[in-house]
Chains A and B, each alone.
Chain A
Amino acid sequence: MLRKLLIGAMLSTAMTGAYAVPSFADEVEVLHWWTSGGEAAALDVLKKKLESQGITWKDMPVAGGGGEAAMTALRARVTAGNPPTAVQALGFDITDWAKQGVVGDLTEVATKEGWDKVIPTALQAFSKYDGKWIAAPVNVHSTNWVWINKKALDAAGGKAPESWDELIAVLDKMKANGISPIGHGGQAWQDATIFDAVVLGIGTDFYKSSMIDLDPAALGGDKMVEAFDRMAKLRTYVDKDFSGRDWNLASAMVIEGKAGMQFMGDWAKGEFLKAGQKPGTDFVCVRFPGTQGAVTFNSDQFMMFKVGANQQKAQLTMASDIESPDFQSAFNVVKGSVPARTDVPDTAFDDCGKKGMKDLAEANTSGKLFGSMAHGHANPAAVKNAMYDVITRHFNGEMDSKAAAKALVDAVASAKM
């Protein structure tokens, strides 16, 4: 009996040993949460490109919670000392992992291919840590977009709003026309996406000092009270069942003409295209009123982890492929975002995509390209979520604008500890 036990124990040890054998040299293991139709198709472009170079793609998809589930899976892998080759990551999550000293180094490829010159500086802040390239940016989503139903807009005067007052005028007309003016889903991150644009609309300097530099004077000042007042005003144009609705259902309301417009990042475009709508004729894409020329972004990047010497070649090849202009173009046309480098030709993109690329390049040169607070590119997760709490409480009518501005200062101070 004892011998049997011993043999069993030895066998199981041998089996776990076999399991832990490092993966093959020409293989990349990729952890990501791009599992829905369009996203998976976009990622397939990269997979095929790598396979043509003799590198096997080991897929590790963990969907759910906008990447939260993937990050939890990553914690387990890193703690076990067996991280994947590349991990899809956003903003400050990359910096947080870099601080743990577990990320790889792409500087060799980056220098050879001149990434410094073509990737916007604001993105480099996340792709580099301590002077070294640690992540390869895949795309840039800008978040200060407005998606307007063309018919609803024509019925409300036909001119896309360019300032706050014009926006309110259009919203009032849409309300009078009997539709719900704003298609919105009451989830903290969606509330925060609108808040981002509202703050940016009040002033680019104000956005920088409050959302990025976290200056308490800006966070609790009169302009912030004004921003919250504007949020409260927008709240009056949202239908009564908005709470908890997913963003794509809000897009569907705009597509069907039940709602007039949606404030959402450019991933919303995919929903319109899927419904067979054409930019310019069925829907209109403009920057949030008062934010033309400035861009708040979030950027998906593949963060590279420290791997064995035999796998480094595959890792560097993958990074190089991600930054190649033809992949950047092919991927982003499918995904709805714009390329992470500014020298990619825009011929394959639709009108909204072309505008997005032009705006991005312009904002990059004028220094008005900012990380989006709502999408974790202005602050670490703790601060971001502390802001979410206040924004969503205020948007749901739990406090007035003055109290919200004060609560914002306190919440940020507490989260920074």
Chain B
Amino acid sequence: MAQSQAEIAPVLTHRPSRTPKEALQEWLPKLVLAPSFAIILIFVYGFIIFTAVLSVSGSKLLPDFSTWVGLGNYVRLFNHPNWITALKNLAIFASLYIIVCSVLGLGLAILLDQKIRAEGLIRPIFLYPMALSFIVTGVAWKWFLDPGIGLEHVMQDWGWTSFSFRWIKEGQYAIYTIVIAAVWQSSGFVMAMFLAGLRGVDNEVIKAAQIDGASTVTIYRRIIIPLMRPVFLSAFVVLAHLAIKSYDLVVAMTDGGPGTATWTPALFMQKFTFGRNEMGMGAASAIIMMMMIFAIIVPYLYSELGGKNERR
């Protein structure tokens, strides 16, 4: 025992003296990363803390650190009819947006994966809406859905006089028009994700299934789609945080109207902080939104990063 320690100790203590070059090599990555690390620390996490502090202060027009209201802003927030509307809208918007995008995206990807002709032409057509900003999408769909100038008007001009599609003007349906525009924009992107996933499926597995006499439907249902689980997860995370952040699309399409029918949490945050001089309540709503996003992202990161280590 004593002997083995004696053998090891010199090995541990004996280190060849490092040349400056080696020292630099060791420090360089840290040096290069340090500025961006510091910037992220201040401008992301520092400001999260700043917002959290604001949310328990009585700030109105400007940040005000002399009055403290505890959880008062949160209580007022959850008693405010507009916030409740915003949460309901988020539930409708997020669930429909995620489900419809995933289903459409997967469907398109499967169809495109049938080794069809001109795939290279068709794929970008579906993908291009993603290149537009939500503001452009919003304005275009606002005009397209406006009964006075858009779809309804054109249909009636063409002779289908009883045609009526005026959801964007009706309080209880307006949020669904935003879903339509958002789905149009994002489903091509989800398709691309699934397409990448489908291309990664091992052909041997499919051949084996074919030899066993499985039909194409069975192969997709029992083998390929279950293999897409990680893609579903990634798509869910990407779409969910887009849904929670949804602001520009709503502003461009309805600006929260008719009435307050299409308010979303992000719109609420902006309007209260900057329009209504209620910075405290605005900060509280921002913190709630952040918690919602963390509730989605953290389990995802955990399963992606932590989970892999366990499996190995």
Contact of B261 among A75, A78, A79, A396 (CB under 8 A): A396
Q: What 0/1 readout, one digit per residue, does chain A (281-303) give for beta carbons within 8 Å of chain B?
A: 00000000000000000000000
Q: How large is the interface on B (under 10, 10 to 19, 20 to 34, 35 or more residues)?
A: 20 to 34
The answer to whether B61 and A100 touch across the interface, beta carbons within 8 angstroms, is: yes
Measured in the bound complex, the distance between the Cα atoms of B91 and A319 in whole Å is 52
The answer to whether A243 and B258 touch across the interface, beta carbons within 8 angstroms, is: yes
**Cβ–Cβ < 8 Å partners of A397 in chain B:** 171
Measured in the bound complex, the distance between the Cα atoms of B82 and A414 in whole Å is 12
**Residue B30, interface by CB 8 Å:** no
The answer to whether A414 and B257 touch across the interface, beta carbons within 8 angstroms, is: no
- CB contact list, A329-376 vs B, under 8 A: none
Q: What 0/1 readout, one digit per residue, does chain B (144-160) give for beta carbons within 8 Å of chain A?
A: 00111000000000000
The answer to whether B171 and A398 touch across the interface, beta carbons within 8 angstroms, is: yes
How many Å from the CB of B278 to the closest CB on chain A? 5
Complex interface: stretch among A10-18, A46-54, A266-274, A377-385:
A377-385
Measured in the bound complex, the distance between the Cα atoms of B60 and A100 in whole Å is 11
Contact of B274 among A71, A78, A188, A393 (CB under 8 A): A71
- CB contact list, A101-149 vs B, under 8 A: none
**Residue A205, interface by CB 8 Å:** no
> Do A414 and B79 form a contact, CB below 8 Å, given A97-B61, A241-B169, A396-B259?
yes
Measured in the bound complex, the distance between the Cα atoms of B85 and A299 in whole Å is 33
The answer to whether B166 and A393 touch across the interface, beta carbons within 8 angstroms, is: no
The answer to whether B260 and A68 touch across the interface, beta carbons within 8 angstroms, is: no
**Residue B80, interface by CB 8 Å:** yes
**Residue B46, interface by CB 8 Å:** no
**Residue A392, interface by CB 8 Å:** yes
The answer to whether A96 and B277 touch across the interface, beta carbons within 8 angstroms, is: yes
Measured in the bound complex, the distance between the Cα atoms of B258 and A397 in whole Å is 10
B172's nearest neighbour on chain A, judged by CB, is A398
Measured in the bound complex, the distance between the Cα atoms of B146 and A186 in whole Å is 13
The answer to whether B259 and A392 touch across the interface, beta carbons within 8 angstroms, is: yes
Measured in the bound complex, the distance between the Cα atoms of B197 and A403 in whole Å is 53
The answer to whether A395 and B259 touch across the interface, beta carbons within 8 angstroms, is: yes
**Residue B248, interface by CB 8 Å:** no
**Residue B81, interface by CB 8 Å:** yes
Q: What 0/1 readout, one digit per residue, does chain B (42-78) give for beta carbons within 8 Å of chain A?
A: 0000000000000000001111000000001000100
The answer to whether B260 and A385 touch across the interface, beta carbons within 8 angstroms, is: no
The answer to whether B62 and A186 touch across the interface, beta carbons within 8 angstroms, is: no
**Cβ–Cβ < 8 Å partners of A79 in chain B:** 62-63
> Do A100 and B62 form a contact, CB below 8 Å, given A241-B146, A381-B277, A414-B80?
yes
Contact of B147 among A75, A100, A186, A241 (CB under 8 A): A241
The answer to whether A389 and B61 touch across the interface, beta carbons within 8 angstroms, is: no
**Residue B275, interface by CB 8 Å:** yes
**Residue A3, interface by CB 8 Å:** no
Contact of B257 among A75, A244, A382, A385 (CB under 8 A): A244
Measured in the bound complex, the distance between the Cα atoms of B84 and A407 in whole Å is 15
**Cβ–Cβ < 8 Å partners of A311 in chain B:** none
**Residue B276, interface by CB 8 Å:** yes
**Residue A21, interface by CB 8 Å:** no
**Cβ–Cβ < 8 Å partners of A407 in chain B:** 81
**Cβ–Cβ < 8 Å partners of B259 in chain A:** 188, 392-393, 395-396, 398
**Residue A36, interface by CB 8 Å:** no
**Residue A417, interface by CB 8 Å:** yes
Q: What 0/1 readout, one digit per residue, does chain A (384-410) give for beta carbons within 8 Å of chain B?
A: 010001001101111000000001000
- CB contact list, B254-290 vs A, under 8 A: 254-255, 257-261, 271, 274-278
**Residue A240, interface by CB 8 Å:** yes
**Cβ–Cβ < 8 Å partners of A381 in chain B:** 275-277
**Residue A317, interface by CB 8 Å:** no
How many Å from the CB of B178 to the closest CB on chain A? 13
- CB contact list, B157-183 vs A, under 8 A: 166, 168-169, 171
**Residue A187, interface by CB 8 Å:** yes
The answer to whether A186 and B277 touch across the interface, beta carbons within 8 angstroms, is: no
**Cβ–Cβ < 8 Å partners of B255 in chain A:** 187, 244
> Do A240 and B62 form a contact, CB below 8 Å, given A389-B260, A414-B80?
no
- CB contact list, A186-241 vs B, under 8 A: 186-188, 240-241
- CB contact list, B108-127 vs A, under 8 A: none
- CB contact list, B215-264 vs A, under 8 A: 254-255, 257-261
Contact of B62 among A78, A380, A389, A398 (CB under 8 A): A78
Measured in the bound complex, the distance between the Cα atoms of B166 and A385 in whole Å is 27
Measured in the bound complex, the distance between the Cα atoms of B61 and A75 in whole Å is 8
Q: What 0/1 readout, one digit per residue, does chain A (60-102) give for beta carbons within 8 Å of chain B?
A: 0000010010011001001100000000000000001101100
**Cβ–Cβ < 8 Å partners of A75 in chain B:** 61-62, 274
The answer to whether A68 and B277 touch across the interface, beta carbons within 8 angstroms, is: no
> Do A240 and B166 form a contact, CB below 8 Å, given A186-B257, A414-B80?
yes
How many Å from the CB of B293 to the closest CB on chain A? 24
Contact of B148 among A99, A188, A241 (CB under 8 A): A241
**Cβ–Cβ < 8 Å partners of B171 in chain A:** 396-398
Q: What 0/1 readout, one digit per residue, does chain B (180-204) give for beta carbons within 8 Å of chain A?
A: 0000000000000000000000000
A-B residue pairs in contact (CB < 8 Å), sample of 25: A65-B275, A68-B275, A79-B63, A96-B277, A97-B61, A99-B61, A100-B62, A187-B255, A188-B259, A240-B147, A240-B169, A241-B146, A241-B148, A241-B169, A243-B258, A244-B142, A244-B257, A382-B278, A389-B81, A389-B260, A392-B258, A392-B260, A396-B171, A396-B261, A398-B171
Supply 16 further A-B pairs (C-beta < 8 A) apart from A243-B169, A389-B82, A417-B76.
A68-B275, A75-B62, A75-B274, A78-B62, A96-B61, A100-B61, A100-B62, A188-B257, A188-B259, A240-B166, A244-B142, A244-B257, A385-B275, A385-B276, A392-B257, A411-B81
Binding site for A on B (CB under 8 A): 60-63, 72, 76, 79-82, 142, 146-148, 166, 168-169, 171, 254-255, 257-261, 271, 274-278
Top 8 closest pairs, chain A to chain B, by CB = A396-B259, A241-B148, A243-B258, A243-B169, A393-B259, A392-B259, A381-B277, A385-B276
